[in-house]
Structure 1
Amino acid sequence: MAASSKTIINKEIEKELLPLIRVYKDGTIERLMSSPMVPPSIEDPQTGVSSKDIVISNTSNPPLSARIFLPKSHQNNHKLPILLYFHAGAFCVESPFSFFCHRYLNLLASEANIIAVSIDFRLLPEHPLPAAYEDGWTALQWVASHTSNDTTTNNNIETESWLLDYGDFNRVYIGGDVNGANITHNLAIRAGTEALPNNLKILGALLCTPFFWGSKPIGSEPVEEHENSLAMKVWKFVYPNAEGGIDNPMVNPCAPGAPSLATLGCSKILVIITDKDEFKDRDILYYESVKKSGWQGEIELFDAGDEAHGFQIFKPETDRAKQLIKRLASFLV
């Protein structure tokens, strides 16, 4: 009886963010929406893309790792654009090694003829924000370090041969979906004021349905449910100590006092919206605010249709998903 009671006590829920994750008081974590882990592969049978797992930095615990994707077109002996990619999952589920992300990067690397580096940034609840943002910056510095004549990075991690042999460092992109697009924006802001190793410049930023929110409802956002919206719950869960709460510039780049969008450190931006995405009005506001900011780059807005965010990841076989992946590929040139 005592053992049974103890089990019940140990499985008492400490906190949860449904439908994504549940944390128990005994330290057990249930990631409720994660897809299965899959291994990398040499020449994926569907796309011909090869992938492998690498370590970027061992200065964090756990070490920062990634999965890198190389399209078959590298055999044509021309340099390929590089995409530093950040996956979706509300900062708390999924990884570059999970099925949905692996399949999506295979398809995108093949369609766009790019080298994609999918970053395994640290997740909640073990690693609250800003850990994921710091991992993003470390990964970006690591990519930039390949433009040096040194054979190793400052962290004594060997440089990646696929980047050295096939990567075009004049065409470096950063991008992601939902929270990954949020990370992308924040990296672009930081790159606008802080130099990267060897003065590497980011060519473009790809923001697919970025996770932005704020304290005051806009557009079609429901007024009465705003305080209890999933977006609000996510931010409170992943960054409970954020200064300014939901109006922190990292989640509300249009908030008063946020860094000027004119400082974004890239030359072009593509913002993807979908009609069923709860962030749509925020993302349109972001697009319009960048245009009005005095930023000197080119920004585009693409409406992917009557879909929820991430549909191209979950259902890549559909016509709309194929259309969107082609649109992303046309940007990554």
Structure 2
Amino acid sequence: MTPHVFAATISSCPRTGHSDERLHWKIHRNNGQNHFCQKQVPTDFSNVFLAGDSAGANIAHHMAIRAEKEKLSPENFKISGMILFHPYFLSKALIEEMEVGAMRYYEKLWRIASPGSEYGVEDPWINVVGSDLTGLGCGRVLVMVAGNDVLARGGWSYAAELKKSGWVGKVEVMESKDEGHVFHLRNPDSDNARRLLRNFAEFLKEETC
């Protein structure tokens, strides 16, 4: 077990975990403000993409929300798009639709990840569908879901709520039928994994809104 609860992964040091601080770190590194890195790599901050699998997709969402609130510099900084692979989103409504075994598993997992949470699976860190999505700091979102994944409903609900929220942008969903959670990591050479990768690449190449 890690020494920190789930929320720590979102705001912790980028050199020790995935977090929105990684954006600050990368920007400062290219501006010559980071003494940990001697080599600077030119970066186009006007065309940034965020992506993550499972819990990483959850973190990507929170990074996009926080980046918009904090108005990161330089002035031309822009998150053009976000790709969520089988996002780890939960809520009481989603949990109640699961079989008893899966329901208990995910409730227990969240209690372990965030023991101090007074809201359980309704916590905004995990129930992003029930939170305000209008402040999402990007113009395009691609949500990947797997047909046999019990968390797929969360991805579909997220896309639907984005469309209804008043958020100005474009969201699309890609479903890999007859596949399970993050199948592309376990079987990267399968036809469906290759198809997923092609859709990912095509999304990156599309013109931004």
| TM > 0.5 | yes
Which of 68, 86, 108 aligns to 1:209? It is: 86
**CA distance 1:266–1:285, change in 2 (3 Å):** same
Aligned to 2:115: 240
Cα offset for 1:235?
Answer: 1.1
**CA distance 1:297–1:144, change in 2 (3 Å):** farther
Q: Which has the higher contact order (CA 8 A, sep 6+)?
A: 2
Using structure 2 for the length normalisation, give the TM-score: 0.86
Runs of 4+ in 1 over 3 A off after TM superposition: 217-220, 224-227
Aligned to 2:163: 291
Which of 27, 33, 37 aligns to 1:158? It is: 37
**Contact 1:217–1:226 (Cα < 8 Å) also in 2:** no
Q: How many Å separate the matches in 1 of 2:203 and 2:172?
A: 10
Which of 161, 174, 194 aligns to 2:50? It is: 174
Q: How many Å separate the matches in 2 of 1:210 and 1:267?
A: 18
Unaligned runs of 5+ in 2: 13-18
**Contact 2:94–2:153 (Cα < 8 Å) also in 1:** no
Cα offset for 1:128?
Answer: 2.1
Deviations 1:57-92 (A, max 9, x none): xxxxxxxxxxxxxxxxxxxxxxxxxxxxxxxxxxxx
Cα offset for 1:219?
Answer: 8.6
Q: How many Å separate the matches in 1 of 2:165 and 2:124?
A: 15
Cα offset for 1:328?
Answer: 0.8
Q: How many Å separate the matches in 1 of 2:120 and 2:96?
A: 21
Opposite residue 276 of structure 1, the aligned amino acid is N
**CA distance 1:157–1:301, change in 2 (3 Å):** same
Of 272-281 and 213-222, the range deviating more from structure 2: 213-222
Q: Pick the structure with more helix per residue.
A: 2
Aligned to 2:28: 145
Unaligned runs of 5+ in 1: 1-123
Cα offset for 1:331?
Answer: 1.2
Aligned to 1:300: 172
**Contact 1:209–1:274 (Cα < 8 Å) also in 2:** yes
Percent identity (aligned): 30
Where in structure 2 are the equivalents of 1:37-186 lying within 5 Å?
Answer: 124-135=1-12, 136-146=19-29, 150-153=31-34, 156-158=35-37, 160-161=39-40, 163-164=41-42, 167-186=43-62
**CA distance 1:189–1:159, change in 2 (3 Å):** farther
Aligned to 2:71: 195
Opposite residue 163 of structure 2, the aligned amino acid is K
**Contact 1:189–1:264 (Cα < 8 Å) also in 2:** yes
Q: How many Å separate the matches in 1 of 2:73 and 2:37?
A: 16
Structure having the higher Rg: 1
Q: How many Å separate the matches in 2 of 1:159 and 1:138?
A: 19
Q: How many Å separate the matches in 2 of 1:253 and 1:130?
A: 13
Opposite residue 147 of structure 2, the aligned amino acid is D
Structure 1 position 281 matched with structure 2 position 153: yes
**CA distance 1:242–1:313, change in 2 (3 Å):** same
**CA distance 1:175–1:206, change in 2 (3 Å):** same
Opposite residue 140 of structure 1, the aligned amino acid is L
Deviations 1:18-52 (A, max 9, x none): xxxxxxxxxxxxxxxxxxxxxxxxxxxxxxxxxxx
SS in 2 for 1:192: helix
Using structure 1 for the length normalisation, give the TM-score: 0.56
